[in-house]
Structure 1
Amino acid sequence: MIIEKINNLRNKFKKYKIDGYIVPKNDDYFSEYAKNDRLKKITKFSGSAGLAVILNKKNYLFVDGRYTIQAQQESSDNYKIIEIHKKLPNEIIKNLNLGYDPSLFTKNILKKYFSNNSLTAINHNLIDQIFKFKKIKTKPFFSLDKSVVGESHHSKISKVVKFIKSNNADYLFVSAPENVAWLLNIRGYDSPSSPIPNARLIISKNKKIYLITKKSNAKTIIKEKKINTKYIVDENNLSNLFYQLEEGNFIIDNKSCSILYENIIKKRFKVLKIEDPIYKLKSIKNEQEIKHMIETHKKDGLALTKFIYWIKNVNKKVITEVDAQNRLEKFRKLNPAYLFPSFNTIAGAGSNGAIVHYRATPKNTKKIKKQDLLLVDSGGQYKFGTTDVTRTICFSKQKKTIVNAYTYVLKGHIAVVQTNLNKIDTGKKIDVRARKFLKKVGLDYEHGTGHGVGFFLNVHEGPQSISKYNNIKLTKGMILSNEPGFYKKGHFGIRIENLIYVKKFKNKLLFDNFTLAPIEKDLINYKLLNKSEKDYLFRYHLKIYSEYSSLLNKNERRWLAQLI
């Protein structure tokens, strides 16, 4: 029982002289998809973002708008659910002494959320003391050839060194594994949903690289002479490394450098808090990466097209959400380039579709009924590329209110991809376009319209996004999701998502689609579409047919032709 574990945790408060304990979602690599999910263990909450505070008599679980319904269903027995964008923890929790694991937090996060409290760092994680976690097995990292990534690691290192020197620094601490992956052109097996390598590194202004990881992880890249074995540093020996380096200025990143590492570095170096330049460099994909993403999305789109035909025409009397997600995975696995999902598939039927990041399991799976909408949000990691796509599928004629809501979402989706980026060049401005048609009829959605996406890396990547507060200027080579939606709690969910990228065409910056998969035409009120929107749908489905018709069977081909 969770309450017993909560009480076990509370029993430790006296020893550490604390009034409560803070539990984040992330691990010490700040991974969105942590293998050892401490937050889920102590709360039962399975969403990808959240923060719990366990006090002597009360417990709070803070989530964003995507997860409100899910958190209420999974965790409300033992936790008060708070939407963090409406109330920050320090507005509710005040004048207490809270314990935390310094390897799991940055100073910025603690300052933002807990400034009205005193804080005590506890180096041994208290959740690890009351739960048993499986020992995480590791595999060696692997390299990506320049022909795949389009740029050598030497070239990337030179760019980063130039940045270090321009800021009068001597070192940069790269604390985000995805940035290590980009810089060295390596990948790993350390996340269930992303090919990231669990590693950090230090790069000096003299181009020396110290890779912080287990030596066994680096076997392959040592063999390829990508890095000298003497510059592989085990985490346990990190303090020794810092004492061996010459004194100087050290750049650390606010978003990914934990308090633990910041404190170690501060003992001997002057710390400069500057955003890791790799975030921006990584966000702009080169022509080779774009080319691979186009090919990857053709493979992924074919699997999704076959799945949509299958689920709309399956003869089985009973299909569950788990059946649906398993079948989609089966279609993806038909392609030898497919590796694993880029996140847990969301297959929400009827009311479950209103849970933005719902996850069906054999225990909670729902039968898909003829009158249901089915929202399927899924993605894959392929050699070489990352996908993320959502389609809302229907099986019978729907009420006018549902059809109209779907059509307003579709209009917003089309408005995004048709944006002239020479005039409207930030995610904040584009987000307004996506919501415009829903807002005219008093509807909206709680999540952002789009997130950045990595190249054969994390499915969620920054700094760019399409959201209410993002002012990053969009430039050629950036990849984003385009996913407006509408959700009626207890009834249904609607979302249409493609991955799009910024390209240059005749001195114009435009979006183009990576994703090629049919849009549910049985949910469209064509009277609400203008000519430009109808033309867009015609061209989009024609392109899908041209790409896939020769790869489909006769029945699939006939069905797809009817969508044009």
Structure 2
Amino acid sequence: MFQTFDETASPDQGPPRLQALRGAMERAGVDGFLVPRADAHQGEYVAPHDERLSWLTGFTGSAGWCVALRERAAVFIDSRYTVQVQSQVAADFEKVDWPATSLAEWIDAALPGGLVGFDPWLLTVTQKREMEKALSGPTLAPCPNLVDEIWQDQPAPPQGAVFAQPVELAGMAHDEKIRQLAQGLGKARACVITLPDSIAWLLNIRGSDVAHNPVPHAFAILHADATVTLFIDPAKTADLGDHLGDSVTCRPPEDFESALQALAGPVQIDPASCPVAVIDALAAEVIENGDPCILPKARKTAAELQGARDAHLRDGAAMVRFLSWLDAQAPGTISEIDVVTRLEAERASTNALREISFDTIAGSGPNGAIVHYRVTEGTSRTLTEGDLMLVDSGGQYVDGTTDITRTMPVGDPGPEQSEAFTRVLKGMIAVSRLRFPKGLTGRDIDPFARAALWEVGLDYGHGTGHGVGAYLSVHEGPQRIARTGTVPLEPGMILSNEPGFYRPGAFGIRIENLIAVEHAPAIEGQTVSDSLRFETLTYVPIDTRLVVPDLLTDAERDWLNDYHAEVLARIGPQLDAATRDWLEGACRAI
């Protein structure tokens, strides 16, 4: 359940493994090979069996690629990992800023012609098309996975048990979900679903095949007659009983390709998530459309929203107990690992925690500037006077998924830290207070979170918010608050609100609450409102020792004081007397 702190790979291991891969490339007759951080299901998290990128290069981030050629190799990472990749990956691999430089651009410059091999189960239809369109010299060539050929002690595929998600928490029976989605298929006679969280949501099941996200590895075919064929190892479903009912037929995974070949068309696929191997196996006419589960899954039911509220109150109490403990520790006495261990213990003490929702980010001082920092025995720092301590964490509870970030001072904060913190807070408050017209997307909302930073020439390199599942993936699409967020926000969608600022080599700041889109009430003079707003789900104090009050407007100060009054009212009754006393001080009005 809890995270470990050992190094998963060493930079020293990369060069000999790269050399072995080049030997496999020569035997396969290809001049290059693509290694994505992906599995056949295209989820964010992968099982140890599928950690090919990490095994080959040492890079442990949640997104990236490696392109290995006969003479050159490169690891492609986005702005979240520019610091991390330098410490984890050997000099034999070039480090490329992606997507500023695309894989195709780099390959074209490095390889005038020849064949670049890829595993057709790990590349989506869209990825292959975009890369082929961009490549001017080399040709993509499907082949067996060459990393698997050289990975001698590769772990076995996961066999996590699958269990039912109660309809009382899901808010809709899976038979009804299947019926509604089948009616929406149009002229398609079937739809192939490959995303694990889509399958889990559709069938009201949860699994344990990957860390932190309660999803099963499986494939599914939704048929127009409102039935589903589920391709899953029967050992995983032993505890499901009769939950799936007559509308779902289970078959072993090895039957998937033959079932695809036998489908009568038209067959719908989502090219953004469907592996190339699936479309290659289909003999029928193909219709390309989005995964039909994506939007209904994002629009949480009333039961899912209530579950999220309940989970956040439980999680909020655990966070407050942790923050009270942290505040009592003298500088120089605890490490980042101590912070992670204590916080995870507080969540476990709720007796309701199923898993943490991602590896806890606990970065002090310069480690806080690494956006997706993961503490290890080798990187853990002792918290020292003058540090900022950034803690980004979350829990998986049967009724909801949480994700929260708080930044705290260790000792007395400096003026640069406090001003940056206050500007980040202003952005978080701006989004929290926002009332906006229906039809706006995350791209429209994102500038409100950055405006106070932009005023003084500052910014941050990640999105402001991602979607969050209902006891599902902590990162869930299609909604997001970011420059790239083009999906209109709708009532029921849950998102994070997490602006930040990072001074490389010095400190990092991020403040994060989860919020849910809801209808805004009519204002004076209106009979019906066509506006939306955000409901705050997270109730944990924001450290006012880092706030510069004069930088806040009256409305921002009122929001912060009202928020802290709500924190005290909602979380206080769950606490022992000493922790409640600490909370009263942390929630004191400014």
1:65 paired residue number: 79
Out of 17, 35, 41, the position equivalent to 1:23 is: 35
Out of 207, 222, 228, the position equivalent to 1:203 is: 222
Structure 2 residue 16 is matched with structure 1 residue 4: yes
Q: SS where residue 414 of structure 1 aligns?
A: helix
Q: Please tell me the residue identity of whatever aligns with 2:17.
A: K
Out of 480, 486, 489, the position equivalent to 1:474 is: 489
- Share of identical aligned residues, percent? 34
* Superposition pairs of residues 406-445 of structure 1, within 5 angstroms: 406-422=421-437, 425-445=440-460
Kept after mapping to 2: 8 A contact 1:18/1:99: yes
CA separation of 1:66 and 1:477: change in aligned 2, threshold 3 A: same
CA separation of 1:218 and 1:544: change in aligned 2, threshold 3 A: same
Deviation at 1:516, TM superposition (A): 0.9
Which whole-Å CA distance do the structure 2 matches of 1:201 and 1:89 have between them? 31
Q: SS where residue 437 of structure 2 aligns?
A: coil
Q: Please tell me the residue identity of whatever aligns with 2:183.
A: K
Residues paired across the two proteins, number? 558
2:299 paired residue number: 284
1:146 paired residue number: 167
1:510 paired residue number: 533
Deviation at 1:424, TM superposition (A): 7.7
Dislocated runs of 4+, deviation >6 Å: none
1:535 paired residue number: 558
Instruction: Tell me whether 127-136 or 376-385 shows the greater mean CA deviation.
Output: 127-136
2:524 paired residue number: none
Kept after mapping to 1: 8 A contact 2:360/2:374: yes
- The one-character-per-residue Cα deviations of 1:81-106 (angstroms, maximum 9, x if unpaired) are 11113111222211342111111111
1:404 paired residue number: 419
CA separation of 1:364 and 1:128: change in aligned 2, threshold 3 A: farther
What's the RMSD between the two structures over aligned residues?
Answer: 1.7
Kept after mapping to 2: 8 A contact 1:222/1:228: no
Normalising by structure 2, report the TM-score.
0.92
Instruction: Tell me whether 51-60 or 134-143 shows the greater mean CA deviation.
Output: 134-143
Deviation at 1:6, TM superposition (A): 0.8
Deviation at 1:80, TM superposition (A): 1.5
Q: Please tell me the residue identity of whatever aligns with 1:31.
A: G
2:54 paired residue number: 40
Which whole-Å CA distance do the structure 2 matches of 1:546 and 1:340 have between them? 27
Out of 336, 341, 345, the position equivalent to 1:321 is: 336
Out of 168, 184, 189, the position equivalent to 2:203 is: 184
Normalising by structure 1, report the TM-score.
0.96
- The one-character-per-residue Cα deviations of 1:453-486 (angstroms, maximum 9, x if unpaired) are 1110001111110000212111110000001000
1:264 paired residue number: 281
Deviation at 1:206, TM superposition (A): 1.0
2:362 paired residue number: 347
Deviation at 1:322, TM superposition (A): 0.8
Out of 95, 115, 118, the position equivalent to 1:100 is: 118
Q: SS where residue 54 of structure 2 aligns?
A: helix
Out of 289, 292, 295, the position equivalent to 1:274 is: 289
Q: SS where residue 44 of structure 2 aligns?
A: coil
1:293 paired residue number: 308
Q: SS where residue 478 of structure 2 aligns?
A: strand
- The one-character-per-residue Cα deviations of 1:293-343 (angstroms, maximum 9, x if unpaired) are 000001111111111111111258521111100110000000111011111
Structure 2 residue 107 is matched with structure 1 residue 86: no
Deviation at 1:227, TM superposition (A): 4.7
Out of 540, 551, 571, the position equivalent to 1:548 is: 571
- The one-character-per-residue Cα deviations of 1:185-215 (angstroms, maximum 9, x if unpaired) are 1111111111101111111111121101112
Q: Please tell me the residue identity of whatever aligns with 2:38.
A: N
Kept after mapping to 2: 8 A contact 1:153/1:185: yes
Which whole-Å CA distance do the structure 2 matches of 1:330 and 1:90 have between them? 46
Q: SS where residue 221 of structure 1 aligns?
A: coil
2:8 paired residue number: none
CA separation of 1:7 and 1:316: change in aligned 2, threshold 3 A: same
Deviation at 1:550, TM superposition (A): 2.7
Kept after mapping to 2: 8 A contact 1:9/1:130: no
Instruction: Tell me whether 75-84 or 388-397 shows the greater mean CA deviation.
Output: 75-84
* Superposition pairs of residues 331-342 of structure 1, within 5 angstroms: 331-342=346-357
Instruction: Tell me whether 254-263 or 92-101 shows the greater mean CA deviation.
Output: 92-101
1:520 paired residue number: 543
Out of 220, 234, 254, the position equivalent to 1:236 is: 254
Which whole-Å CA distance do the structure 2 matches of 1:315 and 1:14 have between them? 58
Which whole-Å CA distance do the structure 1 matches of 2:542 and 2:152 have between them? 45
- The one-character-per-residue Cα deviations of 1:404-426 (angstroms, maximum 9, x if unpaired) are 11111100000111111227821
CA separation of 1:171 and 1:423: change in aligned 2, threshold 3 A: closer
Out of 122, 127, 140, the position equivalent to 1:119 is: 140
Which whole-Å CA distance do the structure 2 matches of 1:554 and 1:60 have between them? 55
Kept after mapping to 2: 8 A contact 1:349/1:372: yes
- The one-character-per-residue Cα deviations of 1:353-381 (angstroms, maximum 9, x if unpaired) are 00000000122211111211011011111
Q: SS where residue 184 of structure 2 aligns?
A: helix
